[in-house]
Structure 1
Protein backbone atom coordinates (compact mmCIF):
# COMPACT_ATOMS: atom_id res chain seq x y z
CA UNK A 1 0.00 0.00 0.00
CA UNK A 2 2.78 2.38 0.87
CA UNK A 3 4.58 1.64 -2.41
CA UNK A 4 1.39 2.35 -4.38
CA UNK A 5 0.95 5.64 -2.56
CA UNK A 6 4.54 6.66 -3.36
CA UNK A 7 4.09 5.71 -7.01
CA UNK A 8 0.85 7.68 -7.20
CA UNK A 9 2.48 10.77 -5.70
CA UNK A 10 5.41 10.52 -8.13
CA UNK A 11 3.08 10.19 -11.11
CA UNK A 12 0.98 13.14 -9.88
CA UNK A 13 4.11 15.25 -9.45
CA UNK A 14 5.35 14.41 -12.96
CA UNK A 15 1.93 15.13 -14.46
CA UNK A 16 1.63 18.51 -12.73
CA UNK A 17 5.20 19.48 -13.67
CA UNK A 18 4.69 18.46 -17.32
CA UNK A 19 1.36 20.26 -17.47
CA UNK A 20 2.81 23.50 -16.10
CA UNK A 21 5.59 23.35 -18.69
CA UNK A 22 3.01 22.87 -21.43
CA UNK A 23 1.03 25.89 -20.23
CA UNK A 24 4.17 28.04 -20.19
CA UNK A 25 5.13 26.85 -23.67
CA UNK A 26 1.66 27.48 -25.01
CA UNK A 27 1.64 30.94 -23.46
CA UNK A 28 5.07 31.77 -24.91
CA UNK A 29 4.10 30.65 -28.40
CA UNK A 30 0.58 32.00 -28.19
CA UNK A 31 -0.93 33.64 -31.26
CA UNK A 32 -2.06 36.66 -29.24
CA UNK A 33 -0.25 38.96 -26.82
CA UNK A 34 -1.40 41.45 -24.24
CA UNK A 35 -0.57 45.00 -25.28
CA UNK A 36 1.86 47.14 -23.27
CA UNK A 37 0.68 50.57 -22.07
CA UNK A 38 4.11 52.12 -22.79
CA UNK A 39 6.72 50.94 -25.30
CA UNK A 40 10.12 52.54 -25.84
CA UNK A 41 12.41 51.76 -28.74
CA UNK A 42 15.12 52.81 -31.16
CA UNK A 43 14.88 53.40 -34.88
CA UNK A 44 16.91 53.78 -38.05
CA UNK A 45 15.14 55.13 -41.13
CA UNK A 46 16.80 55.64 -44.54
CA UNK A 47 14.99 58.29 -46.58
CA UNK A 48 14.77 59.79 -50.05
CA UNK A 49 14.34 63.58 -49.85
CA UNK A 50 13.76 66.36 -52.36
CA UNK A 51 12.96 70.09 -52.57
CA UNK A 52 9.62 71.45 -53.78
CA UNK A 53 9.65 74.92 -55.35
CA UNK A 54 5.93 74.99 -56.10
CA UNK A 55 5.04 77.37 -58.93
CA UNK A 56 8.53 78.90 -59.13
CA UNK A 57 10.07 78.29 -62.55
CA UNK A 58 13.66 77.51 -63.46
CA UNK A 59 14.34 74.93 -60.71
CA UNK A 60 14.97 71.22 -61.25
CA UNK A 61 15.04 69.05 -58.15
CA UNK A 62 16.82 65.71 -57.77
CA UNK A 63 16.05 63.42 -54.80
CA UNK A 64 18.93 62.05 -52.73
CA UNK A 65 19.34 59.53 -49.92
CA UNK A 66 19.57 60.51 -46.27
CA UNK A 67 18.76 58.88 -42.96
CA UNK A 68 17.26 59.37 -39.51
CA UNK A 69 17.90 57.69 -36.17
CA UNK A 70 16.76 58.11 -32.61
CA UNK A 71 14.23 57.10 -29.97
CA UNK A 72 10.57 56.08 -30.29
CA UNK A 73 7.79 55.98 -27.71
CA UNK A 74 4.26 54.56 -27.96
CA UNK A 75 1.68 55.41 -25.28
CA UNK A 76 -1.50 53.33 -25.38
CA UNK A 77 -4.99 54.79 -25.05
CA UNK A 78 -6.46 51.31 -25.54
CA UNK A 79 -5.24 48.09 -27.12
CA UNK A 80 -5.53 49.47 -30.66
CA UNK A 81 -5.00 53.26 -30.28
CA UNK A 82 -1.66 54.86 -29.43
CA UNK A 83 -0.01 58.25 -29.15
CA UNK A 84 3.33 57.84 -30.93
CA UNK A 85 6.24 60.24 -30.47
CA UNK A 86 10.00 60.21 -30.05
CA UNK A 87 13.17 62.16 -30.75
CA UNK A 88 14.90 61.80 -34.13
CA UNK A 89 18.04 63.20 -35.73
CA UNK A 90 17.04 63.54 -39.38
CA UNK A 91 19.40 64.33 -42.28
CA UNK A 92 17.79 65.38 -45.59
CA UNK A 93 19.89 65.61 -48.76
CA UNK A 94 18.81 66.99 -52.14
CA UNK A 95 20.17 68.58 -55.31
CA UNK A 96 18.71 71.67 -57.00
CA UNK A 97 19.65 72.87 -60.50
CA UNK A 98 18.86 76.44 -61.50
CA UNK A 99 20.08 79.19 -63.82
CA UNK A 100 23.04 81.24 -62.58
CA UNK A 101 21.59 84.76 -62.12
CA UNK A 102 24.95 86.40 -62.90
CA UNK A 103 25.34 84.73 -66.32
CA UNK A 104 21.80 83.66 -67.11
CA UNK A 105 22.09 84.79 -70.72
CA UNK A 106 24.65 82.07 -71.51
CA UNK A 107 23.12 78.82 -72.81
CA UNK A 108 23.64 75.94 -70.40
CA UNK A 109 24.89 78.23 -67.62
CA UNK A 110 23.13 76.35 -64.83
CA UNK A 111 24.28 75.77 -61.26
CA UNK A 112 23.67 72.59 -59.27
CA UNK A 113 23.60 73.04 -55.52
CA UNK A 114 23.75 70.08 -53.15
CA UNK A 115 21.98 70.72 -49.82
CA UNK A 116 22.38 68.80 -46.57
CA UNK A 117 19.91 69.86 -43.87
CA UNK A 118 19.88 68.19 -40.46
CA UNK A 119 17.06 68.54 -37.92
CA UNK A 120 16.16 67.36 -34.44
CA UNK A 121 12.53 66.28 -34.87
CA UNK A 122 9.69 65.25 -32.57
CA UNK A 123 6.82 63.30 -34.15
CA UNK A 124 3.34 64.01 -32.77
CA UNK A 125 1.18 61.29 -34.28
CA UNK A 126 -1.67 58.87 -33.67
CA UNK A 127 -0.94 55.19 -34.36
CA UNK A 128 -3.77 52.74 -35.05
CA UNK A 129 -2.85 49.07 -34.55
CA UNK A 130 -4.61 45.83 -35.28
CA UNK A 131 -4.69 43.18 -32.55
CA UNK A 132 -1.54 41.03 -32.48
CA UNK A 133 -2.18 37.70 -34.22
CA UNK A 134 0.37 35.05 -35.08
CA UNK A 135 3.32 37.21 -34.08
CA UNK A 136 2.38 40.28 -36.16
CA UNK A 137 0.05 43.26 -36.26
CA UNK A 138 -0.57 46.02 -38.79
CA UNK A 139 -0.53 49.74 -38.09
CA UNK A 140 -1.33 53.07 -39.69
CA UNK A 141 0.10 56.37 -38.47
CA UNK A 142 -0.90 59.97 -39.03
CA UNK A 143 0.17 63.29 -37.53
CA UNK A 144 2.79 66.03 -37.57
CA UNK A 145 6.53 66.40 -37.09
CA UNK A 146 8.19 69.48 -35.66
CA UNK A 147 11.91 70.06 -35.98
CA UNK A 148 14.69 72.54 -35.32
CA UNK A 149 17.78 72.95 -37.48
CA UNK A 150 20.98 71.41 -36.17
CA UNK A 151 23.13 71.91 -39.24
CA UNK A 152 22.74 73.15 -42.82
CA UNK A 153 25.42 72.97 -45.51
CA UNK A 154 25.61 73.40 -49.27
CA UNK A 155 28.10 72.91 -52.05
CA UNK A 156 28.20 73.42 -55.79
CA UNK A 157 28.53 70.46 -58.10
CA UNK A 158 32.23 69.71 -58.58
CA UNK A 159 33.37 71.17 -55.25
CA UNK A 160 34.73 68.83 -52.60
CA UNK A 161 33.92 70.94 -49.54
CA UNK A 162 30.62 72.10 -48.09
CA UNK A 163 29.99 75.54 -46.67
CA UNK A 164 27.64 76.47 -43.87
CA UNK A 165 24.36 78.07 -44.93
CA UNK A 166 23.87 80.00 -41.71
CA UNK A 167 20.64 82.02 -41.74
CA UNK A 168 19.96 81.09 -45.37
CA UNK A 169 18.38 77.88 -44.02
CA UNK A 170 15.30 78.29 -41.83
CA UNK A 171 15.49 77.28 -38.19
CA UNK A 172 12.09 75.55 -37.83
CA UNK A 173 10.56 72.78 -39.92
CA UNK A 174 6.96 71.59 -39.66
CA UNK A 175 5.52 68.74 -41.71
CA UNK A 176 2.56 66.42 -42.14
CA UNK A 177 3.31 62.70 -41.88
CA UNK A 178 1.39 59.58 -42.89
CA UNK A 179 2.54 55.98 -43.00
CA UNK A 180 1.96 52.38 -42.09
CA UNK A 181 3.60 49.01 -41.69
CA UNK A 182 3.88 45.79 -39.74
CA UNK A 183 5.02 45.05 -36.19
CA UNK A 184 6.59 41.63 -35.58
CA UNK A 185 6.53 40.02 -32.11
CA UNK A 186 10.02 38.65 -31.38
CA UNK A 187 9.19 37.75 -27.78
CA UNK A 188 6.99 39.12 -24.99
CA UNK A 189 9.19 42.18 -24.46
CA UNK A 190 10.55 42.86 -27.94
CA UNK A 191 8.79 43.97 -31.12
CA UNK A 192 10.35 44.79 -34.48
CA UNK A 193 8.56 47.44 -36.57
CA UNK A 194 8.94 47.82 -40.34
CA UNK A 195 7.09 50.39 -42.41
CA UNK A 196 6.95 53.16 -44.96
CA UNK A 197 6.08 56.84 -44.35
CA UNK A 198 5.65 60.03 -46.36
CA UNK A 199 6.63 63.33 -44.73
CA UNK A 200 5.44 66.48 -46.49
CA UNK A 201 7.05 69.71 -45.27
CA UNK A 202 4.85 72.82 -45.32
CA UNK A 203 7.31 75.42 -44.01
CA UNK A 204 10.13 77.02 -46.01
CA UNK A 205 13.44 75.11 -45.89
CA UNK A 206 15.82 77.73 -47.37
CA UNK A 207 15.46 81.36 -48.45
CA UNK A 208 16.71 81.05 -52.04
CA UNK A 209 13.65 80.04 -54.09
CA UNK A 210 11.67 79.40 -50.87
CA UNK A 211 11.34 75.62 -51.36
CA UNK A 212 9.77 73.11 -48.97
CA UNK A 213 11.44 69.76 -48.44
CA UNK A 214 9.69 66.38 -48.33
CA UNK A 215 10.82 62.78 -48.07
CA UNK A 216 9.80 59.14 -48.15
CA UNK A 217 11.32 56.98 -45.38
CA UNK A 218 11.75 53.26 -44.86
CA UNK A 219 11.26 52.80 -41.11
CA UNK A 220 12.94 50.11 -39.01
CA UNK A 221 12.56 50.02 -35.23
CA UNK A 222 12.91 47.79 -32.18
CA UNK A 223 10.58 48.26 -29.19
CA UNK A 224 11.54 46.87 -25.79
Structure 2
Protein backbone atom coordinates (compact mmCIF):
# COMPACT_ATOMS: atom_id res chain seq x y z
CA UNK A 1 0.00 0.00 0.00
CA UNK A 2 2.73 2.56 0.83
CA UNK A 3 4.45 1.72 -2.42
CA UNK A 4 1.25 2.26 -4.42
CA UNK A 5 0.63 5.59 -2.63
CA UNK A 6 4.13 6.80 -3.52
CA UNK A 7 3.60 5.80 -7.15
CA UNK A 8 0.34 7.76 -7.28
CA UNK A 9 1.92 10.85 -5.71
CA UNK A 10 4.76 10.73 -8.23
CA UNK A 11 2.31 10.63 -11.08
CA UNK A 12 0.43 13.63 -9.64
CA UNK A 13 3.66 15.57 -9.24
CA UNK A 14 4.72 14.85 -12.79
CA UNK A 15 1.28 15.87 -14.11
CA UNK A 16 1.42 19.13 -12.17
CA UNK A 17 4.83 19.90 -13.60
CA UNK A 18 3.55 19.17 -17.10
CA UNK A 19 0.48 21.40 -16.53
CA UNK A 20 2.69 24.19 -15.22
CA UNK A 21 4.98 23.90 -18.23
CA UNK A 22 1.99 23.90 -20.57
CA UNK A 23 0.54 26.97 -18.87
CA UNK A 24 3.82 28.84 -19.17
CA UNK A 25 3.97 27.90 -22.86
CA UNK A 26 0.48 29.21 -23.40
CA UNK A 27 1.38 32.39 -21.57
CA UNK A 28 4.42 32.74 -23.82
CA UNK A 29 2.22 32.11 -26.84
CA UNK A 30 -0.19 34.79 -25.59
CA UNK A 31 2.74 37.19 -25.17
CA UNK A 32 3.80 36.50 -28.71
CA UNK A 33 0.23 36.98 -29.95
CA UNK A 34 -0.15 40.27 -28.06
CA UNK A 35 3.19 41.51 -29.47
CA UNK A 36 2.16 40.60 -32.98
CA UNK A 37 -1.17 42.35 -32.50
CA UNK A 38 0.57 45.47 -31.20
CA UNK A 39 2.97 45.51 -34.14
CA UNK A 40 0.08 44.92 -36.55
CA UNK A 41 -1.94 47.75 -35.02
CA UNK A 42 1.07 50.06 -35.17
CA UNK A 43 1.57 49.20 -38.81
CA UNK A 44 -2.11 49.75 -39.53
CA UNK A 45 -1.98 53.11 -37.79
CA UNK A 46 1.08 54.05 -39.81
CA UNK A 47 -0.64 52.92 -43.00
CA UNK A 48 -3.76 54.85 -41.99
CA UNK A 49 -1.61 57.91 -41.29
CA UNK A 50 0.05 57.57 -44.67
CA UNK A 51 -3.33 57.22 -46.34
CA UNK A 52 -4.58 60.29 -44.46
CA UNK A 53 -1.50 62.21 -45.54
CA UNK A 54 -1.99 61.21 -49.16
CA UNK A 55 -5.66 62.08 -48.92
CA UNK A 56 -4.73 65.53 -47.60
CA UNK A 57 -2.22 65.98 -50.41
CA UNK A 58 -4.77 64.93 -53.02
CA UNK A 59 -7.43 67.17 -51.46
CA UNK A 60 -5.12 70.19 -51.41
CA UNK A 61 -4.04 69.47 -54.99
CA UNK A 62 -7.67 69.29 -56.07
CA UNK A 63 -8.48 72.50 -54.25
CA UNK A 64 -5.50 74.20 -55.87
CA UNK A 65 -6.59 73.06 -59.33
CA UNK A 66 -10.14 74.19 -58.62
CA UNK A 67 -8.90 77.56 -57.36
CA UNK A 68 -6.72 77.95 -60.44
CA UNK A 69 -9.68 77.15 -62.67
CA UNK A 70 -11.82 79.56 -60.64
CA UNK A 71 -9.17 82.27 -60.94
CA UNK A 72 -9.08 81.82 -64.69
CA UNK A 73 -12.84 82.32 -65.04
CA UNK A 74 -13.38 84.64 -62.11
CA UNK A 75 -10.96 87.31 -61.06
CA UNK A 76 -9.59 90.64 -62.11
CA UNK A 77 -8.34 92.10 -65.36
CA UNK A 78 -6.66 95.47 -65.51
CA UNK A 79 -5.38 97.67 -68.26
CA UNK A 80 -4.42 101.12 -69.51
CA UNK A 81 -5.86 102.95 -72.50
CA UNK A 82 -5.88 106.20 -74.46
CA UNK A 83 -9.26 107.85 -75.10
CA UNK A 84 -9.36 110.50 -77.85
CA UNK A 85 -12.91 111.78 -78.23
CA UNK A 86 -15.17 114.11 -80.17
CA UNK A 87 -17.40 116.14 -77.84
CA UNK A 88 -20.40 118.36 -78.48
CA UNK A 89 -22.87 120.43 -76.46
CA UNK A 90 -26.65 119.97 -76.39
CA UNK A 91 -29.13 122.78 -75.73
CA UNK A 92 -32.02 121.82 -73.47
CA UNK A 93 -33.55 125.27 -73.03
CA UNK A 94 -33.62 125.91 -76.81
CA UNK A 95 -32.60 129.50 -76.12
CA UNK A 96 -28.89 129.10 -76.81
CA UNK A 97 -27.28 127.55 -79.85
CA UNK A 98 -24.50 125.00 -80.13
CA UNK A 99 -21.82 124.87 -82.78
CA UNK A 100 -20.64 121.40 -83.79
CA UNK A 101 -18.08 119.22 -82.07
CA UNK A 102 -14.54 119.53 -80.82
CA UNK A 103 -11.72 117.01 -80.51
CA UNK A 104 -10.38 116.25 -77.04
CA UNK A 105 -8.04 113.78 -75.40
CA UNK A 106 -8.31 111.43 -72.45
CA UNK A 107 -6.85 108.34 -70.83
CA UNK A 108 -8.04 105.73 -68.38
CA UNK A 109 -7.18 102.91 -66.01
CA UNK A 110 -9.49 99.93 -66.53
CA UNK A 111 -10.46 97.16 -64.12
CA UNK A 112 -12.86 94.30 -64.86
CA UNK A 113 -14.23 92.15 -62.05
CA UNK A 114 -15.19 88.83 -63.65
CA UNK A 115 -17.87 86.77 -61.91
CA UNK A 116 -18.30 84.42 -64.90
CA UNK A 117 -16.44 83.76 -68.12
CA UNK A 118 -18.79 85.98 -70.13
CA UNK A 119 -19.94 88.51 -67.51
CA UNK A 120 -18.05 91.22 -65.67
CA UNK A 121 -18.40 94.47 -63.78
CA UNK A 122 -16.26 97.17 -65.34
CA UNK A 123 -14.81 100.06 -63.38
CA UNK A 124 -11.65 102.14 -63.22
CA UNK A 125 -10.65 105.80 -63.45
CA UNK A 126 -11.26 107.92 -66.56
CA UNK A 127 -9.63 111.31 -67.11
CA UNK A 128 -10.99 113.23 -70.08
CA UNK A 129 -11.80 116.66 -71.48
CA UNK A 130 -15.11 117.62 -73.01
CA UNK A 131 -17.01 120.61 -74.36
CA UNK A 132 -17.57 122.65 -77.50
CA UNK A 133 -18.96 126.06 -78.51
CA UNK A 134 -22.25 127.68 -77.48
CA UNK A 135 -23.68 131.11 -78.31
CA UNK A 136 -26.33 133.10 -76.47
CA UNK A 137 -27.55 136.54 -75.46
CA UNK A 138 -26.81 137.68 -71.93
CA UNK A 139 -28.08 140.77 -70.05
CA UNK A 140 -24.89 142.62 -69.17
CA UNK A 141 -26.45 145.71 -67.57
CA UNK A 142 -29.92 147.19 -67.33
CA UNK A 143 -29.36 148.90 -70.68
CA UNK A 144 -27.16 146.50 -72.67
CA UNK A 145 -27.28 142.96 -74.01
CA UNK A 146 -24.12 141.12 -74.94
CA UNK A 147 -23.63 138.40 -77.49
CA UNK A 148 -21.52 135.70 -75.88
CA UNK A 149 -19.68 132.85 -77.56
CA UNK A 150 -17.97 130.29 -75.32
CA UNK A 151 -15.86 127.34 -76.35
CA UNK A 152 -15.85 125.08 -73.28
CA UNK A 153 -12.90 122.90 -72.31
CA UNK A 154 -13.81 121.09 -69.08
CA UNK A 155 -11.74 118.32 -67.53
CA UNK A 156 -13.27 115.51 -65.48
CA UNK A 157 -12.07 112.57 -63.41
CA UNK A 158 -14.76 109.91 -63.67
CA UNK A 159 -15.46 106.66 -61.82
CA UNK A 160 -17.49 104.42 -64.16
CA UNK A 161 -19.49 101.33 -63.21
CA UNK A 162 -20.67 99.25 -66.16
CA UNK A 163 -22.14 95.80 -66.73
CA UNK A 164 -19.99 94.08 -69.34
CA UNK A 165 -21.10 91.23 -71.60
CA UNK A 166 -18.30 89.22 -73.21
CA UNK A 167 -18.23 86.47 -75.79
CA UNK A 168 -16.07 83.41 -75.44
CA UNK A 169 -12.80 83.64 -77.30
CA UNK A 170 -13.30 83.26 -81.05
CA UNK A 171 -9.90 82.50 -82.50
CA UNK A 172 -7.82 84.99 -80.54
CA UNK A 173 -10.58 87.62 -80.28
CA UNK A 174 -13.18 88.36 -77.61
CA UNK A 175 -16.01 90.80 -78.31
CA UNK A 176 -17.77 92.81 -75.63
CA UNK A 177 -20.54 95.29 -75.01
CA UNK A 178 -21.09 97.41 -71.92
CA UNK A 179 -23.75 99.59 -70.36
CA UNK A 180 -23.69 101.58 -67.15
CA UNK A 181 -23.18 104.95 -65.54
CA UNK A 182 -20.41 107.16 -64.23
CA UNK A 183 -19.82 109.96 -61.77
CA UNK A 184 -17.28 112.61 -62.69
CA UNK A 185 -15.60 115.40 -60.76
CA UNK A 186 -14.87 118.63 -62.62
CA UNK A 187 -11.20 119.39 -62.01
CA UNK A 188 -10.76 122.20 -64.54
CA UNK A 189 -13.34 124.70 -65.81
CA UNK A 190 -12.14 126.94 -68.58
CA UNK A 191 -13.37 128.37 -71.88
CA UNK A 192 -12.41 130.69 -74.69
CA UNK A 193 -14.94 133.54 -74.64
CA UNK A 194 -15.87 136.25 -77.13
CA UNK A 195 -18.21 138.90 -75.72
CA UNK A 196 -19.49 142.10 -77.30
CA UNK A 197 -22.47 144.44 -76.84
CA UNK A 198 -25.18 143.69 -79.40
CA UNK A 199 -28.23 145.62 -78.11
CA UNK A 200 -28.64 148.88 -76.24
CA UNK A 201 -31.65 150.36 -74.57
CA UNK A 202 -32.90 153.73 -75.77
CA UNK A 203 -35.87 154.83 -73.69
CA UNK A 204 -38.44 152.07 -73.91
CA UNK A 205 -36.93 150.40 -76.95
CA UNK A 206 -33.95 148.13 -77.54
CA UNK A 207 -31.91 148.78 -80.65
CA UNK A 208 -29.15 146.65 -82.19
CA UNK A 209 -25.67 148.11 -82.09
CA UNK A 210 -24.43 149.04 -85.53
CA UNK A 211 -20.93 147.90 -86.46
CA UNK A 212 -20.37 146.11 -83.16
CA UNK A 213 -16.72 145.47 -82.44
CA UNK A 214 -15.95 141.77 -82.01
CA UNK A 215 -12.89 141.34 -79.79
CA UNK A 216 -10.38 138.52 -79.76
CA UNK A 217 -11.23 135.51 -77.61
CA UNK A 218 -10.20 135.55 -73.96
CA UNK A 219 -9.32 132.48 -71.93
CA UNK A 220 -11.52 132.48 -68.84
CA UNK A 221 -12.01 130.16 -65.91
CA UNK A 222 -14.65 130.32 -63.24
CA UNK A 223 -17.60 128.72 -61.56
CA UNK A 224 -19.75 128.47 -64.68
CA UNK A 225 -19.86 124.63 -64.90
CA UNK A 226 -21.27 122.06 -62.49
CA UNK A 227 -18.84 120.44 -60.10
CA UNK A 228 -20.22 116.91 -60.59
CA UNK A 229 -21.18 115.13 -63.79
CA UNK A 230 -23.41 112.06 -63.79
CA UNK A 231 -23.38 110.18 -67.08
CA UNK A 232 -24.77 107.24 -69.02
CA UNK A 233 -22.17 105.01 -70.67
CA UNK A 234 -22.68 102.67 -73.64
CA UNK A 235 -19.87 100.95 -75.49
CA UNK A 236 -18.70 98.02 -77.58
CA UNK A 237 -15.38 96.68 -78.80
CA UNK A 238 -13.05 93.72 -78.93
CA UNK A 239 -9.93 92.31 -77.29
CA UNK A 240 -7.26 90.60 -79.38
CA UNK A 241 -5.11 88.22 -77.34
CA UNK A 242 -1.39 88.76 -77.87
CA UNK A 243 0.24 86.35 -75.41
CA UNK A 244 -1.10 84.63 -72.32
CA UNK A 245 -3.74 86.88 -70.79
CA UNK A 246 -2.35 90.06 -72.40
CA UNK A 247 -4.65 91.50 -75.05
CA UNK A 248 -4.94 94.57 -77.27
CA UNK A 249 -8.28 96.31 -76.77
CA UNK A 250 -10.08 98.59 -79.23
CA UNK A 251 -13.52 100.00 -78.52
CA UNK A 252 -15.96 102.86 -78.93
CA UNK A 253 -17.80 104.48 -76.02
CA UNK A 254 -20.71 106.92 -75.99
CA UNK A 255 -20.79 109.02 -72.82
CA UNK A 256 -23.78 111.32 -72.25
CA UNK A 257 -24.17 113.74 -69.34
CA UNK A 258 -27.53 113.26 -67.59
CA UNK A 259 -27.88 116.71 -66.02
CA UNK A 260 -27.13 120.28 -67.02
CA UNK A 261 -23.46 121.13 -67.39
CA UNK A 262 -24.02 124.87 -66.90
CA UNK A 263 -24.24 126.51 -63.51
CA UNK A 264 -25.92 129.83 -62.60
CA UNK A 265 -25.98 131.06 -66.20
CA UNK A 266 -28.79 133.35 -67.39
CA UNK A 267 -29.68 133.61 -71.08
CA UNK A 268 -32.12 135.82 -72.98
CA UNK A 269 -34.90 134.06 -74.84
CA UNK A 270 -34.72 134.25 -78.63
CA UNK A 271 -37.24 134.16 -81.44
CA UNK A 272 -36.92 131.78 -84.39
CA UNK A 273 -34.51 134.17 -86.15
CA UNK A 274 -32.18 134.44 -83.14
CA UNK A 275 -33.24 137.97 -82.12
CA UNK A 276 -33.65 138.60 -78.35
CA UNK A 277 -37.19 138.76 -77.02
CA UNK A 278 -38.25 141.68 -74.84
CA UNK A 279 -41.11 142.31 -72.45
CA UNK A 280 -42.41 145.35 -70.66
CA UNK A 281 -39.67 145.15 -68.02
CA UNK A 282 -36.84 144.33 -70.38
CA UNK A 283 -35.43 141.16 -71.96
CA UNK A 284 -37.10 137.84 -71.21
CA UNK A 285 -34.59 135.56 -69.49
CA UNK A 286 -34.34 131.95 -68.40
CA UNK A 287 -31.80 129.64 -66.83
CA UNK A 288 -29.28 128.16 -69.21
CA UNK A 289 -29.76 124.39 -69.48
CA UNK A 290 -27.63 122.06 -71.55
CA UNK A 291 -25.28 119.11 -71.32
CA UNK A 292 -22.30 117.66 -73.07
CA UNK A 293 -21.81 114.31 -74.81
CA UNK A 294 -18.86 112.64 -76.47
CA UNK A 295 -17.88 109.63 -78.52
CA UNK A 296 -14.51 108.17 -77.56
CA UNK A 297 -12.27 105.67 -79.28
CA UNK A 298 -10.45 103.52 -76.75
CA UNK A 299 -7.11 101.89 -77.61
CA UNK A 300 -5.29 100.09 -74.82
CA UNK A 301 -3.68 96.98 -73.40
CA UNK A 302 -5.40 94.62 -70.97
CA UNK A 303 -3.41 92.31 -68.69
Q: TM-score normalised to the size of structure 1?
A: 0.76
Indicate yes or no: 2:211 matched with 1:173. no
1:162 to 206, 211, 219: 219
Indicate yes or no: 2:161 matched with 1:124. yes
Indicate yes or no: 2:131 matched with 1:93. yes
Q: Which residue of 2 aligns with 1:191?
A: 247
**Structure 1 CA distance for aligned equivalents of residues 226 and 87 of structure 2:** 17
Q: Which residue of 2 aligns with 1:149?
A: 186
Q: Aligned-pair distance for 1:129?
A: 0.4
**Structure 2 CA distance for aligned equivalents of residues 79 and 54 of structure 1:** 41
Alignment check: 8 A CA contact 1:49 1:65 kept: yes
1:202-217 equivalent positions in 2, closer than 5 A: 202-207=258-263, 208=265, 209-217=288-296
Q: Which has the higher contact order (CA 8 A, sep 6+)?
A: 1
**Structure 2 CA distance for aligned equivalents of residues 127 and 151 of structure 1:** 30
Q: Aligned-pair distance for 1:66?
A: 0.8
**Structure 2 CA distance for aligned equivalents of residues 60 and 125 of structure 1:** 30
SS of the residue aligned with 1:168?
Answer: coil
Q: Which residue of 2 aligns with 1:13?
A: none
**Alpha-carbon displacement from aligned partner over 1:117-156 (angstroms, at most 9, x marks no partner):** 0011011001100001211011000000111111110122
Q: Aligned-pair distance for 1:101?
A: 4.0
**Structure 2 CA distance for aligned equivalents of residues 119 and 91 of structure 1:** 6
What's the Cα RMSD here?
Answer: 2.2
SS of the residue aligned with 1:43?
Answer: strand
Alignment check: 8 A CA contact 2:261 2:290 kept: yes
Q: Aligned-pair distance for 1:206?
A: 1.5
Q: Structure 1 residues 209-218 or 75-84, which shifts more?
A: 209-218
List gaps (5 residues or longer) in structure 1.
1-33
Q: Aligned-pair distance for 1:219?
A: 1.2
Q: Which residue of 2 aligns with 1:15?
A: none
**Structure 2 CA distance for aligned equivalents of residues 145 and 83 of structure 1:** 13
More strand by percentage: 1
**Structure 1 CA distance for aligned equivalents of residues 149 and 237 of structure 2:** 36
SS of the residue aligned with 1:131?
Answer: coil
More helix by percentage: 2
1:77-92 equivalent positions in 2, closer than 5 A: 77-92=115-130
Q: TM-score normalised to the size of structure 2?
A: 0.57
List gaps (5 residues or longer) in structure 2.
1-71, 195-214, 266-287
SS of the residue aligned with 1:140?
Answer: strand
1:51-70 equivalent positions in 2, closer than 5 A: 51-70=89-108
**Structure 1 CA distance for aligned equivalents of residues 120 and 248 of structure 2:** 16
**Structure 2 CA distance for aligned equivalents of residues 72 and 58 of structure 1:** 37
Indicate yes or no: 2:87 matched with 1:49. yes
How many residues were matched structurally? 187
